[in-house]
Amino acid sequence: MSVDEQSTMETVFKALAHPVRLAILDILRNGEACVCHLETALQQRQAYISQQLAVLREANLIDIRRDGLNKFYFVTRTELFEVIDRVRAFVGSEANAVPPSYFVDKCPCPHCATLREINRESPLAVTSQD
């Protein structure tokens, strides 16, 4: 293993070794999310969330999609979820599943606003963001 590969491994493992960053990644399983969505879901300050997102981004685990004034974070390679699931299984920990529409009612983000709008029109149509 080259020095570069070794250092990439360390960066990835360090990025994953944090409960809030794992929680962020669990939310991103349901698709891209903006900081305000993560803020609502995790009940943490925006500055703190941004700090954790920066670590994940530096490890190349997530990237940003810009849409007008909004910035949406997404996982660059979905194999990452397999890695997390395997480590969880390895330590005998339950998957920390986040129900996709759990906090839709309270969230100010554009995705949740759209979901609320669709829900209003036909209340049973939308149960997830997929």
Q: How far is the CB of 109 from Zn ion (least distance, A)?
A: 3
Tell me: does residue 107 bind Zn ion (CB under 5 A): yes
Tell me: does residue 37 bind Zn ion (CB under 5 A): yes
Q: With respect to Zn ion, which residue has the nearer C-beta, 11 or 70? A: 70
Which pair of structure tokens corresponds to residue 10? Answer: 């360390």
Tell me: does residue 42 bind Zn ion (CB under 5 A): no
Closest CA to 31 of 65, 56, 58: 65
As a whole number of angstroms, the distance between CA 80 and CA 70 comes to: 25
Tell me: does residue 27 bind Zn ion (CB under 5 A): no
Query: Which residues are within 8 A (CB) of 19 and not within 5 positions of it... i.e. 6 or more apart?
Result: none
Tell me: does residue 109 bind Zn ion (CB under 5 A): yes
Tell me: does residue 112 bind Zn ion (CB under 5 A): yes
